């Protein structure tokens, strides 16, 4: 997942075991998700994704596994990091805003987490940058599935699929990186790209690296931070609205459940330690699409059909936010 350095582990809210039907928590905090969630629970996944079959729903209702809360610390040397063969510069589609569409005039910045080249540039990505509250690594390599499918490859693929969807609706889409640079950018530059674009919405794409058995997606919202160069107070409310819409659409389109290990079943988490959020002056959220270290989640994350649903779900949430 994202940018959790070994030197800074912020206090996190206690993770409560799920105390009631998941639908209650989802309904309370992710209103847009409710319809899709209920339909999914009632009729199963009509989208035909066998990997998200209702039979696996029982495992999502279990209390979070004590101690299994690795929230994405991406340890150097983790296995499977070398399986990414993607070369920089592979960019299947050029950005070409549609002449018209419901999102005409809207600017969306997509931030594909990490960079496939980070593995070869550890000294560069380990340099410290100022994120307002403190200093932190420029970037990390990201995680990978046990079979070596890297988070960096995943994020670029989903981001490119999102670009196609959003441009068809008329949005102007910009990337923080498109596999077109050797490493990075650093988290402060990632934020700066969204700020300079005066983006109407920014979404940072990630997948988590938690322990096996931890499943599901969660959207990370900026907490209220006012320290140094960071001042998220103007974007906390708008980012929450963006995040709730993204979570609801992601749930509806993919059929995936909210995380069973972060967010108490809401699919939402709030953090104050991510430079990419702290330094943003425009509405911005992260999404952790699933846990690459869980075999069932990994089966989804490595499926191109599932990634298309993920991209559609995130894009629908962004569009909903922009049309409000």
177 binds Zn ion (CB under 5 A): no
Q: In the chain, what is the greatest distance between 2 CA atoms, to the nearest angstrom?
A: 52
Q: Segment near Zn ion (CB under 5 A), from 112-120, 167-175, 226-234, 259-267?
A: 112-120
Q: Which two tokens stand for residue 138?
A: 């420029």
2 binds Zn ion (CB under 5 A): yes
Strand ranges for 103-256 from DSSP E: 107-112, 128-130, 135-137, 172-175, 201-208, 218-222, 226-227, 230-231
Q: Smaller CB distance to Zn ion: residue 36 or 112? A: 112
Q: Smaller CB distance to Zn ion: residue 118 or 308? A: 118
The residues near 75 (Cβ < 8 Å, ≥ 6 apart) are none
CA-based end-to-end distance of the chain:
30
Which residue in the set 1, 52, 108, 230 belongs to the binding site for Zn ion (CB under 5 A)?
1
Q: Identify residues 188-207 at the interface with Zn ion (CB under 5 A).
A: 206
Q: How far apart are CA 77 and CA 210, in angstroms?
A: 15
253 binds Zn ion (CB under 5 A): no
Q: How far apart are CA 313 and CA 324, in angstroms?
A: 17
Smallest gap from Cβ 151 to Zn ion, in A, equals: 5
What values do phi and psi take at 244, rounded to 5? -65, -40
How many positions of this chain bind Zn ion (CB under 5 A)? 5
Instruction: With beta carbons less than 8 A apart as the criterion, state whether 98 and 168 touch.
Output: yes
Smallest gap from Cβ 296 to Zn ion, in A, equals: 19
Q: Smaller CB distance to Zn ion: residue 2 or 115? A: 2
**Residue 82 has what DSSP assignment?**
T
Catalytic hit among 151, 189, 244, 288? 288
Q: Smaller CB distance to Zn ion: residue 190 or 272? A: 190
Q: Smaller CB distance to Zn ion: residue 116 or 142? A: 142
Smallest gap from Cβ 205 to Zn ion, in A, equals: 8
Q: How far apart are CA 50 and CA 53, in angstroms?
A: 5
Q: Smaller CB distance to Zn ion: residue 262 or 322? A: 262
Q: How far apart are CA 190 and CA 275, in angstroms?
A: 9
Half-sphere exposure of 77 (CA within 13 A, CB side): 0
Smallest gap from Cβ 8 to Zn ion, in A, equals: 16
Which residue in the set 113, 243, 263, 313 belongs to the binding site for Zn ion (CB under 5 A)?
113
Residue at shortest CB range from Zn ion: 206
Instruction: With beta carbons less than 8 A apart as the criterion, state whether 306 and 51 touch.
Output: yes
Q: Identify residues 116-175 at the interface with Zn ion (CB under 5 A).
A: 142
Smallest gap from Cβ 71 to Zn ion, in A, equals: 11
> Any catalytic annotation for residue 288?
yes
Q: Segment near Zn ion (CB under 5 A), from 46-54, 111-119, 245-253, 273-281?
A: 111-119
Smallest gap from Cβ 123 to Zn ion, in A, equals: 20
Whether cis (ω within 30° of 0) applies to the bond prior to 112 is no
Query: Distance between alpha carbon 200 and the CA centroid of its chain, in Å?
Result: 17
Q: Which residues are catalytic?
A: 288
Q: Which residues bind Zn ion (CB under 5 A)?
A: 1-2, 113, 142, 206
């Amino acid at each position: 997942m994202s940018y959790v350095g070994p030197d800074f582990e912020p206090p996190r809210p206690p993770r409560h075991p799920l105390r009631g039907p998941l639908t209650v928590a989802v309904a309370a905090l992710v209103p847009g998700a409710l319809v899709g969630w209920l339909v999914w629970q009632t009729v199963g996944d009509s989208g035909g994704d066998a990997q998200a079959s209702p039979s696996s729903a029982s495992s999502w209702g279990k209390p979070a596994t004590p101690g299994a809360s690795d929230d994405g610390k991406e340890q150097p040397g983790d296995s499977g990091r070398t399986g990414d063969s993607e070369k920089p510069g592979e960019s299947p589609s050029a950005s070409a805003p549609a002449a018209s569409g419901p999102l005409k005039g809207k600017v969306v910045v997509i931030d594909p987490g990490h960079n496939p080249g980070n593995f070869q540039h550890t000294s560069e990505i380990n340099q410290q940058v100022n994120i307002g509250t403190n200093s932190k690594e420029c970037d990390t390599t990201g995680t990978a599935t046990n079979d070596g499918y890297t988070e960096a490859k995943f994020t670029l693929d989903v981001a490119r699929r999102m670009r196609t969807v959003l441009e068809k609706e008329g949005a102007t889409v910009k990337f923080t990186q498109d596999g077109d640079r050797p490493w990075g950018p650093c988290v402060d530059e990632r934020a700066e790209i969204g700020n300079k674009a005066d983006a109407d919405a920014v979404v940072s794409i990630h997948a988590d690296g938690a322990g096996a058995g931890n499943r599901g997606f969660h959207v990370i919202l900026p907490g209220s931070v006012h320290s140094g160069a960071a001042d998220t107070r103007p974007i906390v409310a708008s980012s929450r609205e963006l995040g709730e819409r993204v979570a609801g659409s992601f749930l509806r389109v993919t059929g995936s459940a909210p995380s069973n290990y972060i967010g108490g079943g809401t699919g939402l988490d709030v953090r104050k330690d991510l430079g990419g959020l702290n330094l943003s002056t425009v509405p911005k959220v992260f999404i952790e699409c699933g846990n690459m270290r869980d075999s069932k989640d990994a089966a989804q994350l490595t499926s191109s059909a599932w990634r298309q649903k993920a991209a559609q779900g995130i894009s629908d949430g962004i569009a909903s936010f922009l049309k409000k």
